[in-house]
């Protein structure tokens, strides 16, 4: 398996994608803390490598958790993470398809793990963002599982679309 490379970027989501890719390797291969940092450092290229060269002296022998702290300070600042939390808190389906709403829900949920740390909380949060025509029909079911909530919302969306097509 080839680890993802990180070149440095002003786009914090690219930094997050790199971390997720590296973490994926750590799920498969059992590395020590030091080996995790060494692998991550090996994958830094260009601007990211130059950044590390500037900060490496004061960070010798750091843990993976500490590396992530200083990496995120540089490439995924707290203000950006706070903005993602706010986006998730205010997320609504509006005029999007349920599948589009679900994709954004999933993307933003990782920034607010405390809001979706149980299947029930995740289902309620997703339900609360649905547009009224779907919400009115699905909330009476009080489905405790996220996957069931998503399934019913998709089904209702199709039923509503079929009915409106039928009456045209």
Q: What is the pLDDT along the chain (168 residues), one digit of tens a residue?
A: 789 999 998 888 899 999 999 999 999 999 999 999 999 999 999 999 999 999 999 999 999 999 999 999 999 988 998 999 999 999 999 999 999 999 999 999 988 989 999 999 999 999 999 999 999 999 999 999 999 999 999 999 999 999 888 876
pLDDT for residue 21:
95
Taking CA atoms, 136 is separated from 90, 140, 143, 156, in Å, by 19, 7, 13, 10
* Residue 127 near residue 138 (C-beta atoms within 8 A): yes
Q: Do the Cβ atoms of 136 and 110 come closer than 8 Å?
A: no
């Amino acid at each position: 398996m080839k680890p993802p490379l990180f070149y440095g970027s002003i786009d914090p989501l690219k930094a997050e994608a790199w971390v997720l890719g590296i973490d994926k390797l750590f799920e498969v291969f059992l590395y020590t803390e030091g080996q995790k940092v060494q692998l991550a450092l090996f994958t830094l290229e260009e601007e990211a490598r130059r950044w590390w060269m500037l900060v490496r002296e004061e960070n010798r022998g750091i843990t993976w958790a500490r590396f992530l702290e200083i990496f995120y300070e540089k490439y995924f600042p707290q203000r950006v993470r706070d903005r993602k939390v706010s986006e998730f808190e205010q997320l609504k389906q509006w005029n999007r398809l349920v599948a589009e709403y679900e994709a954004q829900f999933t993307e933003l949920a990782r920034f607010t793990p405390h809001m979706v740390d149980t299947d029930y909380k995740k289902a309620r949060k997703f339900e609360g963002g649905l547009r009224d025509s779907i919400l009115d029909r699905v909330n009476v079911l009080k489905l405790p599982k996220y996957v069931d909530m998503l399934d019913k919302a998709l089904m209702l969306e199709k039923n509503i679309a079929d009915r409106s097509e039928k009456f045209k």
